[in-house]
Every structure is written in structure tokens, then in C-alpha cells.
Structure 1
Amino acid sequence: MNTNHLYDILVIGGGINGAGVARDAAGRGLSVALCEQADFAGATSSASTKLIHGGLRYLEYYEFRLVAEALSEREHLLDIAPHIAWPLRFVMPHVAGLRPRWMIRLGLWLYDHIGGRISLPKSRGVHLNRMVHPSGLKKSITRGFAYSDAWVDDARLVIFNLLSAQEHGAEIMARTRLVDAQRSESQDGGDNRWVCTLENTRTGERSTVQARAIVNTAGPWVAKMDHLLNASPGDQAKHAAVKLVRGSHIVVPRLFDGEHAYILQNDDKRIVFMIPYEERYTLIGTTDVPQENMDHGAQISAEEEAYLLRAVNQYLAHPINERDIVWRYAGVRPLFDDESDNPSAVTRDYTLVLQSERELPCVSVYGGKITTYRRLAESVMDKLAPWMQSRAHRASWTATEALPGAKFKRADRADEVARLQKKYAQLDAAYLARLFSRHGLKSHSILREAQTSAELGRDFGGGLRQREVEYLAVHEWACEADDVLWRRTKCGLHMTEQQRQEFKAWFTEFSANRFCPSRMQAKND
């Protein structure tokens, strides 16, 4: 990091919104730095339901603009990230006493048409007792509706946006938090600037950076950061309010065959998803529960577990219980507080709050959803246009340039996997397919000349090999074992507890033997 350099933009927060802003700004030719206090996608952005979707249920709250934008973005993301995102068919069983069929048909018709050009199959009615695979649902549930959306590896989406930002010149700093920021007027006729103090959260080392503008994408900490950045005498500055809403998920052994997902209506008018996950599992979520603060992070409660189990057991032919749960996770959505009393009704749309003092702007991002992160980033750049337009080399560009590892057409994904398997014919084909689903074409850079299993290094179990781990540490900022097990990969889910502990011991020693920087310096290694 060049402490004497004046960056155009400092982005605070390394979730999907921060990564998207950094990528967009850097690709326009602006000088960008991004800092994240923990691991990238370490909070909300790795704890989503893993969907790229318009949000069918948002139509009931008249969020037509949000749904239309999200459906349009779904098309862009499937094109620029075909290695980690692909279409997914959803089945909604119809149950008497909940939403009537005419309402569902109307909602699905809107969903098929409101987003402009749609490449995915349109909705239709289905007979659940005539599906290719047994439905896994109660025999009394025989009719339903099917429609299209898409799945994404959320944490990988963050990493690939950061890698793209870096390729375009951005400075990316993990485990680095902002502790102070002051607007400073130039004493020599030069540019006014933000003077910011950063702290490496692993070493405690502090440094100073300067920037013309700040973008606050701190997620659940956005309001706290907004107050730090825009304090005034007596703290009379106007700040937006944030409503923290927790969304929790459980993972259980696979509940039904087939590659479709289920969207289940609940008697409280919410919906719960059952999604095929990591081949052998089913992901169930999510909840909408108010969270008071982030002092202790996000943890699923016993009440939420019971809620999710009760919701799916109303439909399943063979009910499940808490003993079936193999993994739990929760994330907190930092929604813009629109004073709604119902957490499910709080808008998922994003709100950008611009504060400019002494011609030094700060944009704070409230709300948003993973599907619309790219468009949100463009909106941030629109907000900053009065200060940055003359410095940028080009306008919006992220809708068409593929993310790293994804320079192939989405229709050619299967061919690319087959090409990888042919090139490394002596390696396990299933392992190569899983590797491709994490890295796309970058799988070739990981495997390099390896032609035997032994050349992949230590086998940690769960499909995790030493060569990939070393790549993640060198090229993707993985500094702790959990970065690898639960975010860069989901191999931790496939391991035994003993294997996870053995990997953590190995990774701790590995990290101690090689300096793990707060930002990637090893890209030229």
C-alpha cells in the first residue's frame, strides 16, 4: 500500500457491494483501495440463500422496480459468471387455504414478463405426482407451479469481483479496518482529501491512506461507519437508520431427488426454500428476525430452527428433526429502515446516502441484495459522477465483461468441464467438476502440470487438496482455516470433525511458515 498516493475512492467493506463498487470504479480507470476488517464475504455475503432471483414474494409488497431490476440483473450474472452461477428450476406446491391459484398465476405471469429479455424457461403448472423423480412431498400434495431463477456461490462471487478489481488496478486489503477518517483541506492549493487511519486486525499495525471519496459498504456496520465518517459538532449530522434483520439457514441430508428446488408457502405468508446443495444436501431457509446489534455476530436461534423445521415438515412425506441438521448459518441484512413493523415487509431495495462536506463526498450503502450488487455499484458511481466523471476513462462496463475464470459462454459450461477432465484424465472426474464449479477456467492454473493424485499434495478429505489450499492462500487472501473450509470452498461440510480439526492444525502451521499479508502481494510469485 502506497501511503503517499491519493486514491480516487476508498471502499470500506469487502462484501458483495464493496467488491462490486471496487470492480466498477477500478475498471473505469479510477484509483481504488478497499479495506475489510475480517475476511471477504465474512458476514452477510457468505450467508445468503445462494440465489440470483427477482424475489417472487416482493411482488406482494409492490416492489415492481426492484423485481424488474433483479430479473434483468439475473441475465447479466448468468452471462458474466457461468462458472459459479447457473439456472435453477423452482417448484411451488399449491396448498388449499393459502394463496389462491389465480394469485399465483398472476404473480408468475408478471415474473415472466416484468424483467425484459428473459432467457430462462417460463412458468407453468405441474403435477407433482407425475414428476421424473418422486417429489418427496406428502401424497396429498399433487398440484403446483414451476418457474425459473438461478443459483450462485455467493462467497465465490465476492472473490471474483475482488480479483477483477485487482486486475484493473485496485488495492485490496483484507483484515484491515478503518479506525479514523477526517476531511482535510489542502494547504497548498491541491485537492482536498480524506485522511484515513487503517489498522491491520491481525498485527495491530496502523497506516494512513488518502482518498478523494469514500464509499461505505460496511454491511451490518453501515450506520456505525456512517456516524464515524460524517460526525459533526454535537453530532447533528443527518444519518439514515438501519434495520438489522437476521436470515438463518439449516442444511440437512438430501431430502428429494432431482435438480429442482422447492419454494414452500407458510401459514404466516412467508416462504421457505428447499434447495439442492453440495450434491448430498438440502439447504433450507430463510427466516426474517430482527437483530438488535452485531456485538456477538449472527447466530441462528432455537426458535428459528424450529420454525424452519415446522415449515418444511408441513410438506415432506418423511418429516425431519433437529438431529438431521448437519450445518447451520445465519447472516444479518442491513436494510434501510422504512419504519415497517414486519421484518419481511422491509424493503430489500438499496438506498444510497450521499454526504458531501468541503467537496469530499461519502456514499453510504443501506440495504440491497446479492442479485442487484452490480447495478448498485453503477448507482454509486452515478452518485459520485460530479467528482469522478472527469477522472474516469470509460462509463459503465461490468454488464458484459466476464469475471475471472468465466471467459466462456454459459451454454458451453459442460464442454469446458469436459475439456478439463480430458486434459487431466488421470485425476478423478468428479473432483475436477467440483474444482471447476469453484474456479472455472482458473482450475487450469491450480492444477498446472499435475497428472496424478499424489501431485495434488495432501488430501484433507471432503474434496480438499493441498494444491488448491496453497492457491487460495497465495491468490485469494485466505489467511485462516475457516476462510478455506466455509467460504472459498464448502469442503468443511463434507469433512468429519476430526478432518476439520486436522486441517486447522495444518493450516495454522502452514500460515506460520509463510507470511500471510493483509493484501495479496504474491500475485507475481
Structure 2
Amino acid sequence: MAYWAPGGRALALDVLRSGKAWDLVIVGGGITGAGIYREAVAQGLKTLLIEQKDFAWGTSSRSSKMVHGGLRYLGSGQFSLANDSVKERQNLMDELPGLVEPLPFIMGHYKGVFPGPWVFNKLLAIYDYMAGKRYRQFFKRGILDFLVPGLLTKKLKGVTQFADASTDDARLVLRVLEEGNRDGGVAINYLRAEQVSKDENDRVTGVLLKDQLSAEQFELQANVVINAAGVWTDELRQQLGENKVIRPLRGSHLVLPQWRLPVAYSVSFFHPKDKRPVFAFPWEGVTVVGTTDLDHKQSSRDESSISAGEVAYLLAAVNQQFPNSLISESDVIATYSGVRPVVSKHSSKQEADLSKPAKPSDEKREHVVWDNRGMVSVAGGKLTTYRLIALDVLQTAARYLNRKPEDFKSSTHFPETDHVMASAHINAPQIRRLKGRYGFGAERIVELVDRKPELADKVLTSDTIFAELVYACETQLVVHLDDLMLRRTRLGLVLPKGGEAVLTRVKAHCLEALGWDEPRWDQEASRYQRIISAHYSLPVEEAKKEERVV
């Protein structure tokens, strides 16, 4: 963990300068790269992970926060993906209570709308069989007011309850990375892979990196380069003469105060316009509505943002399903958009075929692995199955590592943290939450609170306590304020205006724990507020006008 403490990043860069040869260099610090990192380190491999932005900066902090079997995948015939997802969902719930928690779903059945209760129950029977446990239950209309107050009742026949799970996606990435760090791996953020190195036979032998903070470059040697860069996967593949395969699909969400749309379940329903599934679900003390599914045509270099059309689309959906709620733009406290690195159906053909794509929602979500002469690339897949994806990648890379594919047949488990006990200032449910999110780090958070009981205070209306901010600054490789507010914690998503009201107290912790001075804080606060305004808020009027023109 020393490399993630204040000043530790400089020590990690010293390791790169030393000329150390690596077994693997992993490009990409989202959930896919993190999963590969942890499994490789557990096998005793000398492993470096680099991320051009912050860990989980991309899709892995902007998902629908669900660890789920993917009922839609079962409905579309993707049985293998659904089966793997259901089993991994159960494993993660068992191993990470407090981070991956059960989330009940409710699906309303309306007269004349497919699927009806009978068909849906048959589908769920397969779902429950895969899970090895029965979750499904049908309720008649009369009990609806107790389950989901305010739900559309016109032509309603009844509702079906089933189960999946939810998580804090960014914290899941960090938890996985921390386990790899504990076992001796090196993970560094704000370090970009500029170019792969090749020998005279065009075999990849390493990678050229550039520090995004200092512009210093590092040329590293590795037995294999793992390209897990998400929507940027094609950039390195094209350096080897490969065609584009990634179809970036954007999914956007609205974040509402829970009191404006109080749901205790994830309510699943179909959009009145295109019949796509939409969800309204509880998360971290707020209600999230999502998601959209459309081609992301902006540059991958730019941070994604919700469009005015997507805002209108989601508001239309939620107001149709909850007709008395009258949700409007004025109720929205935050937005977020992630770009899915989906492998197009046409990826096995020529690049020109991507100009005639299928509908976004028709694209398969399975992951694909490519072996390109010393660089193994991976894209697609789901957050839920990240461990299975990691094993698949390492089995493909085994021949470069003097290993056998069967060496990577089973994934590592998260260690138990039962020794972390509640203190006088933190109750048992809070301890459960901290253990899930931080693992052994929960012990340090308890120590911080025992020394300064005021650190047990919750940050405004969130579930986050101030000790988590201090811990993140001390041990989580925070480089910028947005790292702290949007990914180490989720305060920027669940508090109005990105948590503007609490920044004064956050400032005190940053100055003390990170060693920032007043000018640095002012610079970071300005940067953070620009990010919140441009990428986590409703579109500004100018952007709306541009969209109408386009």
C-alpha cells in the first residue's frame, strides 16, 4: 500500500525508472484490468497496472451499479452469459457483504404487454435454477401500494418480485486493486500507454508510457502486454494493424432525491416509446433512473455527458410509470454517463461493416479476447463476471508467461475480515458497510474514529462518514479532488451540486492528509466544479441548442 500513500506515487515511478522487467503490464484500471491484476499477482507474477486517468474513471464508475445475472440476456438466448453472471452474482454477495448487497426487483405486468406473468415466471424459473435458490414471487394488484407506492395501476394485472444485487462499482474496482497491492503488485494512475514496443519479428515486447502529470516517459519490457482499456482498446490494437472492433454505446442516468421517488425495490419497466427496459432503483440514499443505450459519437478523449434528449427520454419513462410523481429537471441532483466498450456483431468482418450496425440494444454483451503476438486484448463483458473474464485473459496469455492455461482455472476469493469489530462510535451496520468497501482498511478507519470521534459523522445526507475521506487521502492514491469525491467516495453523485456544501470541511482533510496548500486547493476545487458542471449535471442551455441543431 506504500505506493498509494501520499508521496507513494513518486516511489512507484522510481520502480519504473529502475528498468525492472515485468511479467505483465496491464493497460486499463477499470474492473476488467483490476480483475486481471489481482489474479495475476495472486499467481506470483510480477505485475504492473497502469491507468491513463484515475482508477475506475471510465465505465467502471458510471454503470447501473448492478451485480446481476442479466435477465435480458437470458431472454435473448445468451444462456452462457446469464448462467455465469448468476453464479458470480451469488459468489460476490457471499464474499463481499456490505459492498455487494441483495436488491429485490419488481416487474409490473400490464394487460396486453409482453411478457405476461406466466411467461415471465417461466423465465425466472430458469434464472432461479441457475442461482440454486428460489427468489421469484408473484403478487396480485391489491398489495401493490405496500410494495411500490405510486406505480402505474391502469391495466395492471400484478407484479413479480425477483432478486439481483447492487454495488458501489468504483469501490469494487478499488477493493480488487487493493487486494492485488497487498500481494505485491504495482498499480499507478494517470499513466498513459502511448505505444507498444515490438521486436524484429513484430512481437510485442513492452510498452512506452507517459506520465500525465509530468510528461515523463518510461519504456518498459514485459513478457506480455494486457490491453484492457475499455473503449480505448482499439487504439493499441490498431498499432498492430488490427481493425476497429469496439462500438461505444452510451448509457446515462438521472440521480434523484429519494424522497421525490421513494422506491425500496428496483422497479423494472418498459419505456413507452421504444419498449426498452428502464429501471428506477435505490442506491446510496438516492434514487437512480436509467439507462439509455445509444451510440456515443463524441471523441473517446472527452468525458461523457448526458444529452438533453436522454434527459427527456428518462423523464418520460419515469413519469409514465409513476404518473403522480411529476418528476422534472428541477428534481435532478446529478447525472452520469458511461460508455460501454461493446464488441460489435460485425467485428469479425471488415471495419467498413461498422457503418451498418445493429440496434444498440441488439448487440451482444459477451467479452472477446484477442491474442496479437505478445499483446492480449479484451473488451466487452459485464462487471458481474469480471473474475471469469480475468481468468480467460490469463489463460490466453499463459504461453507468454511460461505457464499453462490450467494454472488459471479458478479465481481467488476475498479474505474474511471478521476481526474488524465495531467501536463505540460506529455501529454494526456501518462496520459491515466499511468492511465490504475497504476490507482490512476498515480497521484503519475504526482507528481514525476512535482517535477523533467527530470523524464518525455522516457527510450530510450520505452514508459516507468523514473518516472515509481521511482514509482515502492517506491510502488510496488520490491525485485530484474529483478522485476523492467521485470515485474514492461517491459524494459527488449523491449530494446536490457535487457536495458543494461540504467542500470546506473536505478542504481541511485534504490540506492535512495530502499536504496541499491553499493555491493547490483552489486549483483542485475549480477543476472539480468544472467537471461536475460539465459531466455530472443537466446539460447547459448552449449544449441543448447544439443538440437541437444537430
> When the two structures are superposed, what TM-score results if normalisation uses the length of structure 1?
0.84
Task: Indicate the residue corresponding to 1:424 in structure 2.
Answer: 423
Which amino acid in structure 2 is aligned with residue 494 of structure 1? L
Task: Indicate the residue corresponding to 1:413 in structure 2.
Answer: none
Give me the whole-angstrom Cα distance separating, in 2, the residues matched to 1:122 and 1:426: 36
Task: Indicate the residue corresponding to 1:206 in structure 2.
Answer: 217
Question: What does 1:20-31 align with in structure 2 at a 5 Å threshold?
Answer: 20-31=35-46
Deviation at 1:304, TM superposition (A): 0.6
Which amino acid in structure 2 is aligned with residue 45 of structure 1? S
Paired residues of 1:129 and 1:142 also in contact (CA < 8 A): no
Task: Indicate the residue corresponding to 2:536 in structure 1.
Answer: none
| Aligned counterpart in structure 2 of residue 118 of structure 1, from 121, 128, 132 | 132
Which amino acid in structure 2 is aligned with residue 371 of structure 1? T
Give me the whole-angstrom Cα distance separating, in 1, the residues matched to 2:143 and 2:428: 32
Q: What are structure 2's unaligned runs of at least 5 residues?
A: 1-14, 347-356, 521-550
Task: Indicate the residue corresponding to 2:535 in structure 1.
Answer: none
When residues 441 and 143 of structure 1 are mapped into structure 2, their CA distance, relative to the original with a 3 A threshold, is: farther
Which amino acid in structure 2 is aligned with residue 336 of structure 1? V
Give me the whole-angstrom Cα distance separating, in 2, the residues matched to 1:449 and 1:311: 44
Paired residues of 1:98 and 1:265 also in contact (CA < 8 A): no
Task: Indicate the residue corresponding to 1:105 in structure 2.
Answer: 121
Give me the whole-angstrom Cα distance separating, in 2, the residues matched to 1:273 and 1:14: 27
When residues 112 and 426 of structure 1 are mapped into structure 2, their CA distance, relative to the original with a 3 A threshold, is: closer
Task: Indicate the residue corresponding to 2:414 in structure 1.
Answer: 402
Which amino acid in structure 1 is aligned with residue 495 of structure 2? H
When residues 459 and 62 of structure 1 are mapped into structure 2, their CA distance, relative to the original with a 3 A threshold, is: closer
Give me the whole-angstrom Cα distance separating, in 1, the residues matched to 2:460 and 2:312: 31
Deviation at 1:457, TM superposition (A): 9.2
Task: Indicate the residue corresponding to 2:317 in structure 1.
Answer: 311
Give me the whole-angstrom Cα distance separating, in 2, the residues matched to 1:386 and 1:348: 27
Paired residues of 2:199 and 2:205 also in contact (CA < 8 A): yes
Deviation at 1:507, TM superposition (A): 6.4
| Aligned counterpart in structure 2 of residue 384 of structure 1, from 381, 392, 397 | 397
Paired residues of 1:92 and 1:145 also in contact (CA < 8 A): yes
Paired residues of 1:79 and 1:402 also in contact (CA < 8 A): no
Tell me the alpha carbon deviations over residues 148-205 of structure 1, each in whole angstroms, 9 at most, x when there is no partner.
111111101100111111122211111111112212369xxxxx87232211111222
Give me the whole-angstrom Cα distance separating, in 1, the residues matched to 2:188 and 2:227: 15
Give me the whole-angstrom Cα distance separating, in 1, the residues matched to 2:400 and 2:435: 41
SS in 2 for 1:161: helix
Deviation at 1:136, TM superposition (A): 2.4
Give me the whole-angstrom Cα distance separating, in 2, the residues matched to 1:321 and 1:348: 32
Paired residues of 1:58 and 1:67 also in contact (CA < 8 A): yes
Give me the whole-angstrom Cα distance separating, in 2, the residues matched to 1:392 and 1:369: 22
Report the more deviating stretch, 446-455 or 315-324.
Answer: 446-455
Task: Indicate the residue corresponding to 1:370 in structure 2.
Answer: 383
Deviation at 1:288, TM superposition (A): 0.3
Matched, 1:247 2:251: yes
Give me the whole-angstrom Cα distance separating, in 2, the residues matched to 1:342 and 1:155: 28
Matched, 1:285 2:300: no
Per residue, is there more helix in 1 or in 2? 2
Give me the whole-angstrom Cα distance separating, in 2, the residues matched to 1:314 and 1:455: 44
Which amino acid in structure 2 is aligned with residue 248 of structure 1? S
Paired residues of 1:28 and 1:396 also in contact (CA < 8 A): no
Could you tell me the percent identity over the aligned residues?
Answer: 29
Paired residues of 1:8 and 1:212 also in contact (CA < 8 A): yes
Paired residues of 1:112 and 1:118 also in contact (CA < 8 A): yes
Give me the whole-angstrom Cα distance separating, in 1, the residues matched to 2:33 and 2:388: 12
Deviation at 1:247, TM superposition (A): 0.3
Give me the whole-angstrom Cα distance separating, in 1, the residues matched to 2:75 and 2:435: 38
Q: What are structure 1's unaligned runs of at least 5 residues?
A: 187-191, 231-236, 409-415, 517-525
Q: CA RMSD in A?
A: 2.9
| Aligned counterpart in structure 2 of residue 135 of structure 1, from 138, 145, 149 | 149
Deviation at 1:505, TM superposition (A): 4.9
Question: What does 1:73-88 align with in structure 2 at a 5 Å threshold?
Answer: 73-88=88-103
Matched, 1:470 2:470: yes
Give me the whole-angstrom Cα distance separating, in 2, the residues matched to 1:510 and 1:23: 31
Report the more deviating stretch, 24-33 or 475-484.
Answer: 475-484
Deviation at 1:109, TM superposition (A): 2.1
Report the more deviating stretch, 258-267 or 377-386.
Answer: 258-267
Task: Indicate the residue corresponding to 1:447 in structure 2.
Answer: 446
Which amino acid in structure 1 is aligned with residue 46 of structure 2? S
Which amino acid in structure 2 is aligned with residue 27 of structure 1? A
Deviation at 1:313, TM superposition (A): 1.4
Report the more deviating stretch, 368-377 or 266-275.
Answer: 266-275
Deviation at 1:469, TM superposition (A): 2.2
Question: What does 1:256-267 align with in structure 2 at a 5 Å threshold?
Answer: 257=262, 259-267=264-272
Deviation at 1:257, TM superposition (A): 4.8
Give me the whole-angstrom Cα distance separating, in 2, the residues matched to 1:160 and 1:512: 21
Task: Indicate the residue corresponding to 1:343 in structure 2.
Answer: 360
Q: Across the two proteins, how many residue pairs are aligned to each other?
A: 482
Which amino acid in structure 1 is aligned with residue 184 of structure 2? G
Which amino acid in structure 1 is aligned with residue 327 of structure 2? I
Tell me the alpha carbon deviations over residues 303-351 of structure 1, each in whole angstroms, 9 at most, x when there is no partner.
1111111112111132311111111000000110114420011111111
Paired residues of 1:135 and 1:256 also in contact (CA < 8 A): no
Report the more deviating stretch, 497-506 or 245-254.
Answer: 497-506
Report the more deviating stretch, 3-12 or 446-455.
Answer: 446-455
Give me the whole-angstrom Cα distance separating, in 2, the residues matched to 1:458 and 1:84: 20
Which amino acid in structure 2 is aligned with residue 303 of structure 1? G
Tell me the alpha carbon deviations over residues 61-107 of structure 1, each in whole angstroms, 9 at most, x when there is no partner.
22111111111211221223223001111000112232131432232
Paired residues of 1:184 and 1:195 also in contact (CA < 8 A): no
Matched, 1:152 2:167: yes
